[in-house]
């Protein structure tokens, strides 16, 4: 499998470096190099792009604004000289956020994260059983029944998921988060981030685009999930 890439950077040297790194990486395929977001739009409309390397500080429209404007996004790796956008970068579900100057080792580590994401999402769906009020999953050679009402949130961990329960225990099983999302009742569970599904009945406190379960657990709300979550908030909370 080749991951089809597009790189955007208004600095020719930086763009050339990313181009060279893509060429050195066997599982990446370079589709286009762009010096502006407007130029990239042409390729996004006419090419199948899997992954974008995006600089943030660019004229006209910066990389973060550009990514947020896309209704259908490829996977994103931000490349920038500025660290202050890191939190915002992960709020839009970027696979990684790497700081210039970028060595090939740092680039390859980010590219491998993207490779893992695509491999997991192209696998055949795992199977597990659900009933009206519970699900059955395999964990450590055991079949475990979990009441849906006992689930607090579900967290992606590479090819596994961790099902966190209201009693603070968790169950780990070999299921992709996307597959789990498709099987859970939508009136009870919502995907709020690339890595998290929450039980809506357990959502009590929301602050600064984060769901706060306790002092140690903060679930970020990804940009592409904000509209659905805001609809839930508008319906549920008195504001």
Per the structure, the complete domain to which residue 211 belongs is given by 129-236
pLDDT digits (tens, 9 = 90+) for 177-217: 888 998 899 999 999 998 899 999 999 999 888 999 887 88
Average pLDDT over residues 12-39: 96
Res. 118 pLDDT band, cuts 50 70 90: confident
Assess whether 111 and 202 both reside in one domain: no
pLDDT digits (tens, 9 = 90+) for 32-80: 999 999 999 988 888 888 999 999 988 888 899 999 998 778 999 999 8
Residues β-bridged to residue 99: 80
Separation between Cα atoms, residue 176 and residue 165, nearest integer Å = 18
- Please state, rounded to an integer, the average pLDDT across all residues of the chain: 88
CATH of the domain at 231: 2.40.50.1020
User: Among residues 122, 157, 192, which one ends one of the domains?
Assistant: 122
- Structurally, the chain folds into a number of domains equal to 2
Those residues whose C-beta lies under 8 Å from the C-beta of residue 87, and which sit 6 or more positions away, are: none
Res. 163 pLDDT band, cuts 50 70 90: very high
Assess whether 36 and 58 both reside in one domain: yes
How many residues are recorded in the chain?
Answer: 239
User: Among residues 105, 122, 139, which one ends one of the domains?
Assistant: 122
Assess whether 160 and 114 both reside in one domain: no
Average pLDDT over residues 90-114: 92
CATH of the domain at 86: 3.40.50.2300
User: Among residues 69, 87, 122, which one ends one of the domains?
Assistant: 122
CA 205 to chain centre: 22
Assess whether 21 and 99 both reside in one domain: yes
């Amino acid at each position: 499998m080749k991951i089809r890439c597009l790189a955007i950077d208004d600095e020719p040297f930086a763009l050339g470096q990313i181009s060279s790194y893509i060429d050195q990486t066997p599982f990446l395929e370079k589709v286009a190099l762009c010096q502006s977001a407007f130029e990239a739009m042409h390729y996004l409309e006419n090419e199948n792009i899997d992954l974008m390397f995006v600089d943030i500080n660019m004229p006209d429209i910066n990389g973060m604004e550009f990514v947020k404007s896309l209704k259908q996004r490829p996977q994103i790796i931000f490349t920038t000289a500025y660290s202050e956008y890191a939190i915002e970068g992960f709020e839009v579900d970027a696979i990684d956020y790497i700081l210039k100057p970028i060595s090939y080792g740092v680039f390859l580590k980010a590219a491998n994260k993207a490779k893992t994401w695509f491999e997991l999402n192209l696998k055949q769906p795992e199977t597990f059983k659900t009933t009206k009020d519970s699900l059955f999953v395999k964990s450590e050679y055991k079949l475990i029944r979990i009441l849906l009402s006992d689930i607090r949130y579900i967290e992606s961990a590479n090819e596994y998921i961790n099902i966190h329960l209201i009693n603070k225990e968790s169950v780990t099983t070999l299921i992709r988060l996307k597959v789990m999302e498709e099987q859970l009742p939508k009136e009870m569970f919502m995907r709020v981030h690339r890595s998290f599904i929450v039980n809506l009945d357990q959502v009590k406190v929301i602050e600064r685009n984060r769901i706060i379960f306790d002092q140690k657990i903060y679930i970020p709300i990804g940009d592409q999930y904000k509209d659905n979550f805001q609809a839930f908030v508008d319906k549920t909370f008195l504001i």
